[in-house]
């Protein structure tokens, strides 16, 4: 006795049709497509099936619409923290992430490489400190051309930085200010020499995802790693 069906979305007793009324029967297929742009919060989807006799059958299902990305920040390590390879051995990386509804995971990256994921707060991974022991050489900025395939199949190119040299001020242990020359490579890795010691640089960031698939990237955090200073023998 089927005549037609329609889909409605409701909140606080107010119902709005999604699409038009459909006169065809559907078996194991999509009934309607709902553009959730501009929607946020708890809603009820309602299916109404009208019969030729005048009867109306209904089925309701609660849904959550979440179009907002979570909030995330790296709370450890602090920017420009210095780690000693032989003493610290590991760097514990912790992120704080919150969502309006429900978090899914946090992905951790260092210098463009994925370190791992965490699905339970506190979101944290550990990185075993490694050093290349290569003294940086300053020079002009070097670029490379990267080929990008777009979702629609078209191909475009963009320039990326292979290496870059820059100078910045920093505060020494005695409180005085000095300059350091930093050589950075693509992805966030680099190196500098401070107080006559090689310091290798790493850039950390995270991507936070909620259950709806919304994603946000955190602000990056830069850290330094170096070798333990050699002890001066006592005469």
Taking the C-alpha atoms of residue 139 and residue 182, their distance in angstroms, rounded to an integer, is: 11
Indicate if the pLDDT at residue 6 is higher than 70. Answer: yes
Please give the residue that has the higher pLDDT: either 115 or 171. 115
pTM: 0.80
- Contact call for residues 160 and 144 (beta carbons, < 8 A): yes
How does residue 234 score in pLDDT terms, banded at 50, 70 and 90? low
Runs of H (alpha helix) within the chain:
85-88
> Per-residue pLDDT tens for 116-165?
999 999 999 999 999 999 888 888 888 788 888 888 888 888 887 778 99
Taking the C-alpha atoms of residue 169 and residue 74, their distance in angstroms, rounded to an integer, is: 24
CA dihedral 68, 69, 75, 77 (to 10 degrees): -160
- Contact call for residues 163 and 179 (beta carbons, < 8 A): no
Rg (CA), the chain: 28
Mean pLDDT of 172-197: 89
pLDDT, position 110: 97
What does DSSP assign to residue 232? P
How does residue 42 score in pLDDT terms, banded at 50, 70 and 90? very high
pLDDT, position 161: 77
pLDDT, position 210: 96
Taking the C-alpha atoms of residue 206 and residue 109, their distance in angstroms, rounded to an integer, is: 6
H-run or E-run covering 188:
none
DSSP annotation string for 105-134: EEEEEETTEEEEEE-SSSEEEEEE------
Taking the C-alpha atoms of residue 222 and residue 190, their distance in angstroms, rounded to an integer, is: 10
Taking the C-alpha atoms of residue 89 and residue 81, their distance in angstroms, rounded to an integer, is: 14
């Amino acid at each position: 006795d089927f005549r037609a069906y329609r889909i409605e979305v409701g909140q606080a007793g107010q119902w709005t049709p999604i699409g038009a009324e459909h006169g065809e029967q559907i078996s194991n297929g999509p009934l309607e497509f709902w553009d959730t742009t501009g929607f946020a919060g708890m809603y009820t989807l309602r299916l109404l099936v009208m019969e030729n006799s005048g009867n109306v059958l209904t089925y309701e299902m609660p849904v959550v619409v979440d179009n907002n990305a979570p909030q995330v920040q790296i709370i450890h390590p602090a920017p420009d923290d210095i780690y000693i390879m032989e003493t610290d051995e590991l760097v514990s990386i912790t992120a704080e992430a919150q969502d309006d509804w429900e978090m899914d995971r946090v992905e951790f990256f260092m210098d463009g490489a994925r370190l791992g994921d965490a699905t339970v707060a506190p979101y944290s991974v550990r990185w075993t400190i490694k050093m290349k022991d290569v003294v940086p050489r300053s020079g002009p900025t070097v670029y490379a051309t990267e080929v990008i395939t777009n979702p629609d199949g078209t191909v475009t190119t963009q320039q990326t930085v292979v290496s870059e040299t820059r100078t910045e001020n920093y505060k020494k242990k005695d409180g005085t200010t000095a300059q350091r020359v930093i050589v950075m490579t693509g992805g966030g890795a680099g190196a500098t020499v401070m107080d006559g010691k090689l310091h290798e640089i790493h850039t950390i960031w995270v991507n936070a995802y909620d259950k709806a698939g919304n994603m946000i990237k955190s602000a990056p955090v830069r850290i330094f790693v170096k070798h333990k200073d050699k002890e001066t023998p006592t005469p």
